[in-house]
Amino acid sequence: MKSPIWYKLALVFSAYCPLFFVLVLKLFNLENIHRIPISMSPQIFLFAISSILLIISVVSCLLVAIDIITTQTRRIGAKAVEIKKVISREQDVLTYIATYILPLVSLNLNTWNDTWVTLFLLVLILWLSLRSEMLYINPLLFALGYHIYSVETERGDVLYISKNKRSVLFKQPSRICYRLEGESILLDGSEKG
């Protein structure tokens, strides 16, 4: 069972909520609000787009959090797995921050060329995230207390999302989990989860 495209988009937008929040903070300027009529400058244009993306991201965060909680509560797509090897993917969050947030926030946004380059980079980053495993390297999951692991099971390698630490997964290698994305993304079904 593959996730619908809206769910993947919700994951991508929820992952980039911090980026859009920082862009809105960077571009927010009270001086522009008091000027009427507001002239369309690159900063105002990018502020408007960042604000819209921030709203979409916040809604996406809520959708993803509700889906994870609902999946665990209703025990949707439960299956047993035997864990053979566990590799933490938590360091990927630092990669995410260094690769995506810092460069975009540090861009100079004073000209229309800078604005178009920033928009192009945003679209490229969102598209690449949608097409890769980076979907689940998501600050929202960490904020909810989840850890992300690359796990080798009897059926192959999967991404495994759990509130348990890596050492707990080794103590009890036979686990019940729930499918979030086909057979490739699993959510831990243990009590701590």
- pLDDT tens-digit profile, the chain (193 residues): 456 777 778 888 888 888 889 888 888 876 655 555 556 778 788 888 989 999 999 999 898 888 888 877 777 777 778 878 888 887 777 777 777 677 777 777 778 888 888 888 888 888 887 777 666 677 777 777 888 888 888 877 877 788 877 656 666 767 777 776 666 667 777 655 4
Instruction: Work out the burial of residue 152: count CB atoms within 10 Å of its CB; fewer than 13 is exposed, 13-18 middle, 19 or more buried.
Output: middle
Helix axes 5-15, 112-130, angle to 10 degrees: 130
Q: For residues 77-92, b (16+ Cβ closer than 10 Å) or e, as one string?
A: beeebebeebeebeeb
**Biggest distance spanned by C-alpha atoms of the chain:** 65
Cis peptide before 4 (omega within 30 of 0): no
**Quick check: helix, strand or coil at residue 112?**
helix
- Going by the DSSP 8-state scheme, the letter that residue 133 receives in this structure is G
Give the C-alpha separation, 103 to 149, whole Å. 26
Contact criterion met (CB below 8 Å) for 11 and 64 = yes
- Rounded CA gap, 37 and 125, in Å? 34
Confidence (pLDDT) at 102 = 73
- Where residue 60 falls (left for φ over 0; alpha for ψ -120 to 50; beta otherwise) is alpha
Give the total residue count for the chain.
193
